[in-house]
Structures are given as C-alpha cells and as structure tokens.
C-alpha cells in the first residue's frame, strides 16, 4: 500500500490506529544526538526506564532509524548515504524530544503531503519528501503550522526532564487505566515504560513499578516498590520492596517485606512484616510471617519459619547455603548456621542454634537448659 493510499483510507475510515500501523516501513528515521554543557549527552538521560534516545526511537515504530552526531560537518551527506531512497519520507528529529509519538510523526508527514512542499520544518526537526532529498545541497524548510501540543518539549535541563517525566508518567498510567487497571492515586504512582500489567490489577497510592516487571491478572499492590519482578495472579503486595525476583500465585506479602534479587517465592506463600529474603527459593505454601532473615536458602513446601529466625549464611568472608526440606517447623528465635541441611518433617525448637545437619522427622533442642533459683531476689523491705 502506498503512502497516498494510506492517507486516503485513513480519511475515509476515520481510524487513527489504521494509519499508525500502516506507516511502518515507509519512513527514513534520523535521530540527531543532542548535548549541552549542563547535561552532557542528552541521548542517555533516562526517564521512566528509557533513555531519551529510546523514547524518540520508539516513535518511529518499525521504521529504520539511524542515529547521527548533530555537529557533523557533512551531516546532509551522511543522511543521504544512510537512508533508503525508495521510502517516501525522511523525518529528522533530535534526541532531546522524548515526548514525540508515532502520531506526531504521521501528522508531520501528512502535513507535507497536504502542503505540497518538499521540506517542512517542525519543532526540533524536519520532514523531507524522499525523492527531493538527493537533489539538495542545503536544507531550507518551509514553516508549517501543526498542532503538536507538548510533543517537542526539550530535555535541556533537569527541570525540563522532570516536567517531561510527569507527562510521560501520565500517558503510561492512562494507557494502563484504559486497559482495566485500577490506579487509586495517579499522582503518587509511577509505572515505567516497559512494565506489563494484566487485567483486574489494583494499584494503591505511593507505588512504583520499574524495569521490565510483569504484573499478572488480579494482583493487588499497595505502597510498594517493584523492580524487574514477575508477580503472578491474585497475589497481594503490601508496603514492600522487591527486586529482580519471582512471586508466585496467591502470595501474601508484607507489610514491610524486603525481597532482594534472585529470590523465588512459591504459590500460596505468606511473607510477613519485616521479613528479608535474599537469593532464596521458598516452596509452595510456606510461611515466614514476621521478623526473619532468609539468605542463600532453599526452603521446601509447607514449612513454617518462626519469628526472629536468622539464616546465618556469612562467616565474614564467604556465603554458605541452607537447604530445608518439606513441612519443616523452625521455632522462633532460632539460628541456622550454614552450611546446613534440615530434612523433611524436622522440628527445630524455639531458641535453638543449629550447626549440624538434621535428619527427617527429628526434634532439635539446641539451647542451654534453664535454671530456676527460687527466692533468689531479696525483698526490698
């Protein structure tokens, strides 16, 4: 389908999404690297998980994009050498305009067709008719009035970066809310560009979701920070922090849990308040309800880790693993000194410090026997 056919079809059908998809592979995209004294290379400035360059590049969709230095002495010649001459339009943008969208570029190309010009100037860029580019030695662009709203706001200082971030944040939240995600307080909620969120998800105030996190259907999140995690269906995350980890189905998390990188939390687990988990695997249905540290451990299914339990994994030089089988009970205020293995159905009495492997179904009591001395306290009378 030719460009003119796309424009005519779009006018007849009134379908914006139709042209935005069909414009792919019809445009030469040129991005000029921007820099200034205050920020250096603006290309690499990150906003909501993407660099400014990546935001501009995404606006070109599936069209081929070439990045060039702005201060090149032979910029026009470099552009001519790098483009595909068979494509009808060349669009030149700067890397400091991360608010530009696919629709922005389409509108600009449509404007040059309607205007009958060979070159049209847009804020921070140019649109050039393809067959005309190789005939010119310098660019003299006509001015064209096009309503781009704030699409060409430039990221030339950190104040502008913050303003642009707010606009991008609003666009991202609008997209997710239009697709069935409930956001309680958009002002205090931040979702980065590459986050994927399923249906029926509820996101409470003061929540930040970063990186390439995946939040599956019917998850509930409140006042939490989630970075590069997968959270499976029907889990509830309350006032917690999670990084580079996997959270299974129907997990109850928090408040104030800290899940550090490379952890796996199985289905139906309970990870309670002030629990820290580091580089560990927690089996399905296990409970770590409060005030515990679990590091470099593999815990089986349906285990109970009591209050104040510490997995002693570090001797000052090296980290050591702990392996716990299924249905193990670890009593409150116990210390498990790694390396250690505790087999299925074992029971560790409260207050024990365990330094040796424990066989299946064994009871461990590793604490000094108490001594009671009656009438030891003298009367104050």
Which ranges of the chain would DSSP assign to H, the alpha helix? Answer: 3-13, 16-22, 52-59, 75-82, 102-115, 130-133, 158-178
Alpha carbon distance 204, 189 (integer Å): 8
For 71, the token pair is 């201060």
Q: How far is CA 319 from the centre of its chain?
A: 29
Nearest Cα residue to 24 out of 57, 63, 65? 63
Nearest Cα residue to 29 out of 71, 62, 55? 62
For 46, the token pair is 């990150």
Alpha carbon distance 280, 257 (integer Å): 14
> Could you tell me if 372 and 366 are in contact, meaning their C-beta atoms sit under 8 angstroms apart?
no
Annotated catalytic residue 290: yes
Choice among 53, 94, 176, 290 that is catalytic: 290
For 104, the token pair is 């922005």
Which residues are known catalytic residues? Answer: 290
């Amino acid at each position: 389908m030719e460009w003119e056919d796309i424009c005519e079809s779009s006018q007849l059908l009134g379908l914006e999404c139709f042209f935005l998809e069909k414009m792919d592979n019809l445009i030469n995209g040129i991005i000029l690297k921007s820099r200034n004294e205050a920020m250096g290379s603006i290309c690499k400035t990150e906003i909501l998980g993407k660099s400014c360059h990546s935001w501009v590049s995404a606006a070109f969709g599936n069209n081929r994009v070439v990045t060039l230095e702005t201060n090149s002495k032979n910029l026009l010649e470099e552009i001519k050498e790098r483009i595909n001459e068979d494509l009808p339009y060349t669009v030149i943008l700067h890397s400091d305009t991360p608010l530009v969208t696919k629709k922005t570029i389409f509108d600009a190309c449509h404007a040059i067709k309607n205007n009958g010009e060979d070159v049209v100037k847009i804020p921070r860029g140019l649109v050039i008719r393809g067959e005309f580019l190789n005939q010119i030695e310098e660019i003299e662009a006509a001015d064209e009035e096009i309503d781009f709203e704030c699409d060409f706001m430039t990221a030339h200082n950190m104040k502008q970066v913050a303003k642009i971030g707010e606009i991008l944040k609003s666009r991202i939240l609008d997209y997710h809310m239009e697709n069935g995600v409930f956001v309680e307080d958009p002002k205090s909620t931040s979702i980065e560009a590459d986050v994927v969120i399923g249906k029926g998800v509820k996101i409470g105030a003061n929540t930040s979701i970063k990186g390439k996190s995946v939040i599956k259907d019917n998850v509930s999140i409140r006042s939490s920070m989630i970075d590069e995690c997968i959270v499976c269906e029907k889990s509830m995350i309350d006032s917690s922090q999670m990084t580079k980890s996997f959270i299974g189905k129907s997990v109850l998390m928090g408040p104030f849990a800290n899940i550090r990188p490379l952890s796996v939390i199985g289905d139906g687990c309970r990870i309670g308040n002030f629990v820290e988990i580091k580089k560990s695997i927690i089996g399905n249905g296990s409970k770590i309800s409060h005030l515990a540290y679990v590091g470099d451990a593999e815990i089986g299914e349906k285990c109970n880790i009591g209050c104040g339990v510490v997995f002693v994994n570090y001797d000052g030089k090296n980290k050591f693993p702990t392996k716990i089988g299924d249905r193990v009970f670890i009593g409150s205020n116990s210390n498990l000194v790694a390396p250690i293995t505790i087999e299925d159905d074992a029971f560790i009495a409260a207050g024990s410090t365990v330094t040796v492997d424990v066989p299946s179904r064994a009871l461990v009591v590793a604490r000094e026997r108490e001594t009671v001395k009656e009438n030891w306290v003298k009367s104050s009378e």
